[in-house]
Chain A
Amino acid sequence: MGYIKSLYISGFKKFDEITVQFNEHMNIIVGENEAGKSTILEAIKIVLNQMYKNTDKSILKDLFNKTQMDTFKANPSIETLPKVEIELDLVLDPTEKNTEYFFGENSRNTEATFGIKFECAFNEDIGANLVDVINSGEIPYEYYNLVWKTYSQQQYYLIKRPLNFISIDTSENDTNSSFNYFNKTLFNSRYSEKEKIASKNKFRNELNKMFKSIDLEDIDEHRKFGINDKKVILESVLAVYEDSIALENKGSGMSSLIKTQIALDKSKNNLDIVLIEEPENHLCHTTLLKMLSEIEKRQSDSQIIITTHNNLIASRLNLKNVIWITDNEAKSLDNISEEDANFFIKADNNNFLQILLSKKAILVEGATEFLLLPKIYQQITGRTIEDDEINIISCNGISYSRYLNAVNDANKKIVVLTDNDNKNTKIEESINYNNEHQHQHIFLDNNTDNWTWEKCFYTLNQEVLNSLIKIDENANYLFHEKDYGKVLGKMLNNKVDTAYAMLNSGIDFVIPQYIQDAIKWLNE
């Protein structure tokens, strides 16, 4: 089976230059908003499907990279004119039809490989007399050529497309065109040329016959109405029916699910590559789970490329398959350990993706810290966490080391706030970790007496808390069968309520030093 091995983009939209490596089967593209996830899918469509081939050249200004446009504006010349290059490296089976047509050295690779190259560049031959126009800072869009060539340096014709692919876009506003596209693509890959031609002919003939049989009165002696063949094209009037209901008439969530099911049935529908954009759109939790299990089942048949913001999708389909788009770079998470990956697959409700999608992150143990930290942050810095684009992520009982392992060498500042649990070993471990890691640090109180978040706060704010926390004189407030005094005892037994009370009190508490240090480090 063939698949997309990698994609190289230069000068296209968001990307000055980027290379994305793909897995043979499952690929989950994640990234912050505007990171360029859809641009990557669009680049694939441009190369394989010759998107924009027949579009007006005025579209080009939306395709060029902004940096390249700026460079040209600052220093206009033929050499600095923006241009788009996209190369799609493929893996194909040489014993299959036409594959030699894609094989050669005409790519950025030094060895001969399979692939297709797209280039949108100024044609110097036809635009030879435009030097003055160009030097004055005008981009002559009309004199740009869009050229598709295989790596063997021959014209790429759509009819020789080496891989069939379909794109399922759930965010598409224009549902009409999205269904048209889906139906058309499915129809084309599902049936052989022979079947397609036969059905189109029959459709046309029967329609004409049927119209004649209506027996309308002629217009006059020589003139009558007939069917305009050019307007009834079978592919554009097709709809997919499920039990007598057209897919278009189902809810958008349901129709996404059905489209996905159909697309992934490779043995019937011959689709090698399925692109799914943000499948979480319009899907309720249970439908999403259903779709995911469908994808999981089929993932070894086709190559699947998904863009998503959703944690569940990323962890369910294995974090090792995540391609993380950040800072014009595509990073693979496939170097996280099998054990960690499996862990996140099992723990459905984790916030892993949030780490990848945030600029800076603070990992905390649970709800208490999660509630109080935004206020503490503002108290210390005078700014909100939103101002500084910091994400607070609650590990919810999952060991923070799992998260740290997974983001291992990412160039992203992450702070872990944790309790020392009255263990010196934990303190030592954190020192070692911090020495070895530049971008991720663990912060905890380095006095084992202050073994937990509540104890740290109580030590520093005893008076205020004694009056804020109302206690029942008759209660013991033992915590794990130990007596820590009534106020602290109640705080330990009612962590979230305490945090909520502290938050609502409006009091500026004295902040434990390790938390202050953590916030300071994060903003260095």
Chain B
Amino acid sequence: MAKRVILAVAGAGKTYHICHNIDKDKKNLILAYTHENIKNIRKELINAFGCIPELTTVITFDAFVYRYLILPYEPSILRFFQKDNFKTKGITVKEPESQTIDNRPNPKYRRKSKIGHYITQSGLYYCANLSELVMYIKNGRNSLIKRIANSLNKFYNEILIDEFQDFREHDFDLITALAKEIDNITLVGDYNQHSVSAKNNSGKPFKKRGTDVSYEDFKNTISDLGFEVDETTLQASRRCPENICKFVQEKLNIVFSHNNDNNGDVIFLSENIETILEDNNIVKLVYNDARKCNFRALNWSYSKGDTFDNVCVILTNNFEKIFNDDFSCRGISQQTINQLYVALTRTKGNLYIIKNSDYKKIK
């Protein structure tokens, strides 16, 4: 084992792969970005082993940084800022002060060389700046990261990170810096699902100087960081039927194959839309404002990680021409494309598609 990134497609079984390939008799640490992911991982571990293996820990990335990287080393951190006797009291999800307000300097902002950048006056760590803090503690060659990685190597046989594409900026930097020193680390993610969540949808490593980073560039970035890139293990969807995979590959220009015997078709709906909308067995995926719908609906981005028997996707205006032969995604933002990709790949069966114009008519 070593440092590996497994690039996956939707429904290829990222979580399944992680959970079923650990050595349950050794110590493993599994991290993911959201609580939703953590719940899925726990469920899958129970499927695999009947219970969460005694020596396996599953926690969110933020909890990991706070409990494993900050708290045990707090004396070093406070000493670094020469605040040895400062008393911290916990963590806050409050956003840190921004550098400017309405283009004017914000007097409450603290530079990153000050402890106030990371901890409020009342002693609460800004959750948003935890990773930046860990990265910042360095004395010449002796960095906190190195010490931490050394002990993580002693404690864990393997560290696994699910939904790797969710990590941005300092979080991403922290993971790659740690990975440099960690003996066994596996990252699993889907390039095409990046920027899907409402948060964390911009910046490094998927944006470079304001432009989107292509799949190939992304691959090169992580392989330059010393990771072995695995593009075979999780390249086929265990969820989506063949016809749906073909449709997604053709329309969104994403390499997407299948590895299942599920049956289902892409069904374009322009009439009798109400029947489908009222059918509670079919979940409707809308771009946003799902809670305003008077039928069973979910936002595209919220459906990430879900699997349904049948799905009906209501398109946005940008995709009016998706059934035309000369359709191309050019001009549509990468974020919207990725969100649609998520929506289109939730079904194990049929994929109903309703154009925005048709949907508006009945509304």
- The interface of chain A, by Cβ under 8 A from chain B, is 94-95, 97, 99-100, 103-106, 112, 151-154
Contact = CB atoms under 8 A, between A and B. Distances in A.
In the A-B complex, the 9 residue pairs with the smallest Cβ-Cβ separation, listed nearest first, are: A104-B72, A152-B72, A94-B154, A153-B71, A105-B75, A100-B155, A94-B155, A105-B73, A97-B55
Given A97-B54, A152-B67, A105 B154 contact: no
Nearest to A101: B67
A387 to B, nearest CB: 50
B184 to A, nearest CB: 13
B112 interface: no
Given A94-B154, A94-B155, A100 B68 contact: yes
A153 B74 contact: yes
A103 B155 CA distance: 10
A287 B157 CA distance: 48
Nearest to B67: A154
B27 interface: yes
A251 to B, nearest CB: 42
B26 A104 contact: no
B208 to A, nearest CB: 36
Contacts of B71: 104, 106, 152-154
22 contacts: A97-B27, A97-B54, A100-B68, A103-B72, A104-B71, A104-B74, A105-B72, A105-B75, A105-B76, A106-B71, A106-B72, A106-B74, A106-B75, A112-B72, A112-B73, A112-B151, A151-B72, A152-B68, A152-B72, A153-B71, A153-B72, A154-B71
B151 A99 contact: no
Contacts of B83: none
Nearest to A104: B72
A105 B148 CA distance: 11
Contacts of B73: 104-105, 112
Contacts of A105: 72-76
A154 B66 CA distance: 11
A112 B150 CA distance: 11
Contact-residue bracket for chain B: 10 to 19
A240 B27 CA distance: 37
Interface centre among A103, A105, A151, A154 (most CB of B within 10 A): A105
A156 to B, nearest CB: 13
Contact of B155 (A99, A106, A154): A99
A103 B151 contact: yes
A306 B40 CA distance: 50
B294 to A, nearest CB: 47
A112 B74 contact: no
B313 to A, nearest CB: 44
A152 B66 CA distance: 11
Interface string B43-62: 00000000000110000000
Contacts of A112: 72-73, 147, 151
Given A94-B154, A104-B72, A152-B67, 15 more contacts: A95-B154, A97-B54, A100-B68, A100-B151, A104-B71, A104-B74, A106-B71, A106-B74, A112-B72, A112-B73, A112-B147, A152-B71, A153-B72, A153-B74, A154-B67
Contacts of A100: 68, 151, 155
Contacts of A152: 67-68, 71-72
A493 B110 CA distance: 94
Nearest to A109: B75
A97 B156 CA distance: 10
Nearest to A100: B155
